[in-house]
Amino acid sequence: MPLAITLPLNPEVLRTSGPYPRALNVLSRKQTAVQRQLRRAGLAGYEPTTQATLLALAQRTPPGGAVYDIGAHIGLYSALISAVYGKDGPRTVAFEPTPQTAALCRRIRECNRLGFEVQQTALSREPGTAELYFSQKSESSNSLNPAHRKHSESVPVPVTTVDAFTEERGLSPHLIKVDVETFEAAVLEGSLSTVRRHRPWIVCELLPSADHDALRTALAPLTAMDYGLYPITPDAPWHRYDETTYRPAVSAQCRDWLLAPRPLAPDFHRAVRQWLIAILACDETTNLLTPDKASFPYGWNAPYRPRAPRSALLAGAAAVARRALGPGAVPGRSGFTVPGRRRGGEVPTSTR
């Protein structure tokens, strides 16, 4: 049963980067855990602050820069970045080792005529082959770590490293997202040469159930290179941690972290805030649903265009956000506080 989700309207990006589609076809409302979550709550209900952070960082990609989406699943983040920033935006690569999910990622790319690349491979500390364990809970919890979830089967998958892939392709990554279900330490260890040379921004999932001894070891070289560890939360500015102090701040509600190569400036928080307001307006009421084999309405993904003055567009986006969030949703100049939505504030992904 087809599902299209409304994309967030950001007037600043329209002004600087040009029009982009107003909706994304994610093909099914129930095939995977991620699609089911999007059906229930739209983009607003799927890690909205992480989305806002990734879109704000991708917006600053220098010419020729790349984005790596490691543990891409159906490629939602790759598709968002590719749809919003288009062919003139960052070169985006989605890494997904689960064969069926990678095939769905490619279908979403093709149906939406997007330009991101799909690599059906896992990443670790060294190239080779490894067993990918299929979670009994959800395909979004598949992992190279056999202890992460109960599993009934596994499949061998190819493995590369960030360093090997970057060297082979001659890329310059500006942003790396890592969500590999407690295998993040191994991915970071295979990224150190890339980090030293290119100093990318890294958005990394840190789960309470991860091996934090291994994570501290993997994070120590980054903090030695003056990387700061920041929990991604709706409130700003974010507190900076290092590998010796971050652990108490990790929780089920705070599991996506920004590993930043330099201190976070107020304009970064303003960009995240602007994206977050726009994303929270894209709830389940903005989804497009059709019966099986039916087409979406004419013009369903017609591009957003800056037809009104920027101030009017911003006011309209803020008004929509107020209706979604309630009074007090408009943030201040140097930071933002998002009050609880009717589902209880930021809605964490409930699929893992």
181 in a domain, yes or no? yes
Mean per-residue pLDDT, 318-328:
45
Structural domain includes residue 345: no
Residues 6+ apart with CB under 8 A from 333: 266, 270
Predicted pLDDT of residue 181: 82
CA dihedral sign, ordered 102, 109, 200, 209: negative
Asked if the structure places residue 325 within a domain, the reply is no
Percentage of residues of the chain with pLDDT beyond 70? 84
State the greatest distance between any 2 C-alpha atoms of the chain, in Å, as a whole number.
Answer: 56
Q: Is the pLDDT of residue 158 over 50?
A: yes
pLDDT at 343: 35
Whether 136 shows a pLDDT value over 90: the answer reads no
The predicted structure's pLDDT at residue 112 = 96
- Write down the pLDDT at residue 1: 75
Does residue 175 form part of some domain?
Answer: yes
CATH of the domain at 250: 3.40.50.150
Query: Is residue 149 helix, strand or coil?
Result: coil
Q: What is the mean pLDDT of residues 299-315?
A: 69
Identity of the residue numbered 208 = P
Token output for 98:
């689960």
Q: Would 12 be classed as within a structural domain?
A: no
Give the range of the structural domain holding residue 101, as residue numbers without chain letter: 40-278
Torsion angle, alpha carbons of 19, 61, 116, 140, to 10:
-110
The count of structural domains within the chain is 1
Statement: the pTM of the whole predicted model exceeds 0.75:
yes
pLDDT for 74 equals: 95
Q: Which amino acid does the sequence have at 91?
A: R
Phi/psi of residue 132, each to 5°?
A: -100, 120
* Higher-confidence position of 153 and 335: 153
> Which CA distances in Å does 35 have to 21, 38, 41, 271, 273?
19, 5, 10, 27, 25
For residues 41-63, give the mean pLDDT.
Answer: 97
- Comparing 351 with 186, the larger pLDDT belongs to 186
- Residue 184, judged by CB atoms within 10 A of its CB (0-12, 13-18, 19+), counts as buried
In a domain, 24, yes or no: no
Q: What is the pLDDT of residues 71-114, one digit of tens each?
A: 999 999 999 999 999 989 999 999 999 999 999 999 999 999 99
φ, ψ (nearest 5 deg) of residue 25: -80, 115
Give residue-wise pLDDT tens across range 252-288: 888 999 999 999 999 999 999 999 999 999 999 999 9
For 256, the 3-state DSSP assignment is strand
Identify the pLDDT of residue 319: 45
Q: Indicate the pairing of strand 122-123 with strand 151-160.
A: parallel
Mean pLDDT, all residues of the chain: 87
Q: Is the pLDDT of residue 241 over 90?
A: yes
Q: Which residue has the higher pLDDT, 30 or 219?
A: 219
> Buried (b) or exposed (e) across 248-287, using 16+ Cβ within 10 A?
eebeeeebbbbbbeeebeeebbbbbbbbbbbbbbbbeebb
pLDDT value of position 186: 95
Q: Indicate whether 108 belongs to any domain.
A: yes
The beta strands (E) that lie in the chain are given as 3-6, 20-21, 23-25, 65-70, 91-95, 117-119, 122-123, 128-135, 151-160, 172-178, 201-205, 228-231, 256-260, 288-289, 303-304
Residue 23 has pLDDT above 70, yes or no: yes
Phi-psi region of 293 (alpha: psi -120 to 50; beta: other; left: phi over 0): left
- Strands of 91-95's sheet in order across: 117-119, 91-95, 65-70, 172-178, 201-205, 256-260, 228-231
Quick: pLDDT tens for 161-210. 999 999 999 999 999 999 998 889 999 999 999 999 999 999 999 999 89
Which one is predicted more confidently, 177 or 329?
Answer: 177
Please give the Cα distance from 79 to 92 (Å, whole number).
9
Burial code (b: 16+ CB inside 10 Å, e: under 16) for 114-133 equals: bebbbbbbbbbbeeeebebb
Q: Place 141 in a pLDDT band, splitting at 50, 70 and 90.
A: low
